[in-house]
A = this chain, B = another copy of it.
C-alpha cells in the first residue's frame, strides 16, 4: 500500500485511505471492504469505489508514471461488505501502461474498469476552456445534511451555482450547470485517488435540473487527468472547483461532463459519465 495520509497529529489513517485500502491476497488479487463513512443511500458512494479501482493500480510495484485516463463501468450494485479486486497489466512500454481492473463480489462483477498510465513530461501547453468566475469558497456556506446520506458528510461542499433542485423545492431549473467548491472533510492532501472520487461527487445532473427525484445510477465514469502527482500534491487540502453539467437526457440515460480546477486556475481533471435514470 502507498503511504496513508495522516489525520492531523494522530496515527489514524484518514477515513478516505481506510475506505480505499486493499490487502494483497495469496492468489494475486486484492481484498477490500466498503466503508460505512462513505455509505450512499444503498451501498457505497461510487466515487470511492472508482477511487478503489484506481488505488489497485497505484499500489502495483510495476506501475509506471501517473494515470492519464480511467474508465470505471459500474456493472452492478456494490453490496456493503468485502470485495475482491483483480488487476491485469495488458501492455507496457517504456513510457505508457495499459491496465484492466475488475472488482467482484462472489460471482458478480461489480466494476469493469480500464486505465492508461504514462510518464508525464513537460511539453507545449495550453488550456482552451476557461475556469468560471465564481466567488471564493470561504465566502459560501457549506452544505449541511443532504437527505441523511452519509458520504456527502465526508466532504466540505459549497455551491457557487446550481444546487439540488429537489431539496430546494423550487421547481425545475433551466439547466443542470453546477459550480461546486469541494474538498475532503477532514482535510486531506489531494492525490489521484481523491481526485477520482471528487469527479463522481457531483450529484446526479437530473437532480440539479429537475425538481422530481427519480431512481438513477451511474453506469460509466470516464476521467482524464491533466496534472502529475507533484502538481496534485501542491494543492494540499485546499478546495478545488468542480464544474458539472448534463449535455443530454434521453431514452433512460443522461450524461455529465465535468471539470475539476485548482483554486489557482489549473485544470486538474475532466470527466464524462453516463447515468441511467428511470422515467
Report A's interface with B, CB cutoff 8 A: 68-69, 71, 73, 75-76, 90-91, 93, 96, 98, 100, 102, 108-110, 112-116, 118, 120-129, 175-177, 209-210, 219-220, 222, 224, 226-228, 245-253, 255, 257, 259, 267, 270-272, 274, 276-279
Contact = CB atoms under 8 A, between A and B. Distances in A.
Contact of A245 (B112, B128, B253, B267): B128
Given A100-B100, A247-B270, A277-B123, A252 B118 contact: yes
Contacts of A267: 247-248, 250
A219 B69 contact: yes
Report how many copies the assembly holds. Answer: 2
Given A123-B251, A222-B272, A271-B272, 12 more contacts: A69-B73, A71-B114, A71-B220, A73-B115, A76-B98, A96-B276, A114-B114, A116-B219, A123-B279, A125-B249, A126-B209, A128-B176
B228 A224 contact: no
B226 A120 contact: no
A69 B276 CA distance: 11
Contacts of A73: 69, 71, 98, 114-116
